[in-house]
Chains A and B, each alone.
Chain A
Amino acid sequence: MKIVRFHAHGGPEALRIEEVAEPQPGPGAVRVRAEAIGVGVPDKLMLNGNYPWCPPLPVIPGNELAGTIDAVGDGVTRFAVGDRVYVNARELPQRGGGYVEAMCVPAEVPFALPDGVAAEQAVTMGNYQLAWLLLNRAATPQAGDSVLVHAAAGGAGSALIQLARGMGLTAFGIAGGPDKARYVAELGADGVIDRSGEDVAARVAALTGGTGVDVIYDSVGGRRFQRDFDMLAPMGTVVLFGYLGGHPDPNVYDAMRANFGKSLAMRLFSIHVYDDRPDMRRHAMEQAIAALAAGIAAPRIHATMPLDAAADAIRLLESGTVTGKIVLTP
């Protein structure tokens, strides 16, 4: 069967299409034949050598695969041949492994897909799982509260907008450029700020009647991070969960205290905190899949490409113009 992997870190050109023997499920394992494989930022980080949780070389990237079980090993009771499932590498001892025509995993790993859920939609669930944890664990905004999402046209950002709306929150999104801003509006955001043409802080003040927002979800960080505190409502919280713009200035204490009396908070968040908590992780994923079945999560697919074109898919991802999921099909 066909797989895509790299033997040395590098750019998209380091990805090689290879032929290997089809894996056979051992006792307690199932084989999942891929219908859709998700392409995500961690794939690129792994490839570039910037991913702390990258398995040893050679590496097959890809943390998300959805398809149908076509073989089961001895003793498997949880699934049968023909079941449609979603595999997320967060449930495996090592990340990656998804750029393949088929993979074998322990039977307790996959998530069952509800009827009517398309495989290409299922492979976006990693972002919704993260978004669910951000909205329910990293901070706990309540119905009626407002949230501001940086990079709202991105994978996690767009999931945040949709799940926040589903929870009865007022969701504002920040996007770079008119195309992405339009996309965020289509996701259902209550307000969109195009940072390429607008003053973000002034727009947040206008959108909230000067009060600010209750929670900011920031995956950008960087030098401008301190400005988040000026856009928070009293008792507000900034959740920093990514570093697209680099690490912030370490001196956040003074920025927080500059808003003294507003009693502000910040939290750093990474889903890796749950690496040894499968119960928490799986619960979040089940909530995400339920949101998909209920139509609250309505992922957009940016492009569907053949597995052979994985290098092009990574190039497309790097272009920064993607609005929605890039999906590979075998």
Chain B
Amino acid sequence: MQIVRFHEYGGPDMLRVEDVPEPEPGPGEIRVRAEAIGVGAPDILVRTGTDVKTWPLPMTPGNDMAGMVDAVGPGVSRFREGDRVYVTSRELPLRGGGYAEARVVPEAAPFAIPDGIAADRMVALGNYHVAWMLLEHAATPQPGQTVLVHAAAGGIGSALVELAGLRGLTVIGIAGGADKAAHVRDLGAFAVIDRLEEDVAERVAQLTEGAGVDYVYDSVAGPGFARNFDMLANMGTLVQFGYLAGRPAPDAYAEIARNFPRNLGLRIFSIHHFDDKPAVRRAAMERIIDMLTSGDIAPRIHARMKLADAAEANRLLEGGSVIGKLVLVP
């Protein structure tokens, strides 16, 4: 069967399409035949060797796969052949493994796909899962409060805008360019700031009548990180969970102290926090799946590409013009 993997760190060219023997499920395991595989920012981090954790090489990227169970090992009771399931690598000891025609996982790992739900929608749920944790655990914004979301047209950003709106929060999204801004508006944001055209801090002040926002969700960081503190309301909290623009200057305390006595907070969040909390992790994903089934959330698909074109898909994602999920199909 076909898999896509890299043997050393580097650009998209490092991704090789290879043929390997089809894996057979052992005791307690099932084999999932892929219908859709999600492409996400973590795929790039692991390939470039810049992820927060290091993984053994060669590595098959891809944290989201949805498809059909086509073989079960001895002793399996939870699933049987023909069941449709979603596998997120957050349920597995190692991340990645998704860029493959099929994969074998412990029967406890997958989530059942409700009837009538397309596989390509399922592989977008990893983003909603992070967004859920950001709104439920990293901080707990209450209805009526205001949140500012950086990279709001991105995978997690879009999910944050949707989920925050459902919670009754006032959402201000930041996007780069008119197309992305339009997408964020479509997601139901109260307001969108096009950072290529507008001064973000000035617009935030305007939109909040000078008060600032209660929460900032920042997956961008980099040189603009310190400005977040100026956009927070009294008692506001900055939740930082990514580094699209690189590491920020480390003197966060100085920035918080500069704003004394506005009582600002900072949390640095990672989804790896839940690596040893399967009950909380799985309950959150079940809620997300319910929301997909009920139509409360509507993940957008940017494009479907062939698994063999994974390198091209990675280039496309790195290009920064993707709006919605990139999906690979075998």
CA distance A16 to B73 in the complex (A): 88
Given contacts A249-B253, A252-B253, contact A263 B268 (CB under 8 A): yes
Closest to B267 in A: A265
A269 interface residue (CB < 8 Å to B): yes
B251 to A235, Cβ gap below 8 A?
Answer: no
In chain B, positions 235-251 with a C-beta closer than 8 Å to chain A are 235, 237, 248-251
Q: How far is the CB of A246 from chain B (nearest CB, A)?
A: 12
B-contact 0/1 string along A239-264, CB 8 Å cutoff: 00000000111111110110011111
Q: How far is the CB of A67 from chain B (nearest CB, A)?
A: 30
B275 interface residue (CB < 8 Å to A): yes
Contacts of A265 in B (CB 8 A): 237, 265-268
Q: How far is the CB of A223 from chain B (nearest CB, A)?
A: 12
A137 to B235, Cβ gap below 8 A?
Answer: yes
Size bracket, chain A contacts: 20 to 34
Which of B235, B248, B263, B273 contacts A261 (CB under 8 A)? B273
Which of A260, A268, A272 contacts B256 (CB under 8 A)? A268
Closest to B268 in A: A256
In chain A, positions 243-298 with a C-beta closer than 8 Å to chain B are 247-254, 256-257, 260-270, 272-273
Given contacts A251-B250, A252-B252, A268-B256, contact A263 B273 (CB under 8 A): yes
A251 to B251, Cβ gap below 8 A?
Answer: yes
B-contact 0/1 string along A135-170, CB 8 Å cutoff: 001101000000000000000000000000000000
B261 interface residue (CB < 8 Å to A): yes
Which of B250, B272, B273 contacts A253 (CB under 8 A)? B250
Which of A235, A249, A270 contacts B273 (CB under 8 A)? A235
Main secondary structure on A side of the interface with B:
mixed
Contacts of A262 in B (CB 8 A): 273
A324 interface residue (CB < 8 Å to B): no
In chain B, positions 270-309 with a C-beta closer than 8 Å to chain A are 270, 272-273, 275
Contacts of B275 in A (CB 8 A): 261
A191 interface residue (CB < 8 Å to B): no
Q: How far is the CB of A169 from chain B (nearest CB, A)?
A: 17
A266 to B235, Cβ gap below 8 A?
Answer: no
Contacts of B259 in A (CB 8 A): 268
Contacts of B260 in A (CB 8 A): 268, 270
Given contacts A248-B253, A251-B250, A253-B251, contact A263 B270 (CB under 8 A): yes
A260 to B267, Cβ gap below 8 A?
Answer: no
Given contacts A260-B52, A263-B273, contact A273 B251 (CB under 8 A): no
Which of A250, A263, A270 contacts B269 (CB under 8 A)? A263
Given contacts A248-B253, A253-B252, contact A272 B270 (CB under 8 A): no
Q: List 16 A-B contacts (CB under 8 A).
A: A138-B235, A235-B273, A248-B253, A251-B251, A253-B249, A253-B252, A260-B272, A265-B265, A265-B267, A267-B237, A267-B263, A267-B265, A267-B266, A268-B260, A273-B235, A273-B262
A-to-B contact residues, CB < 8 Å: 137-138, 140, 234-235, 237, 247-254, 256-257, 260-270, 272-273
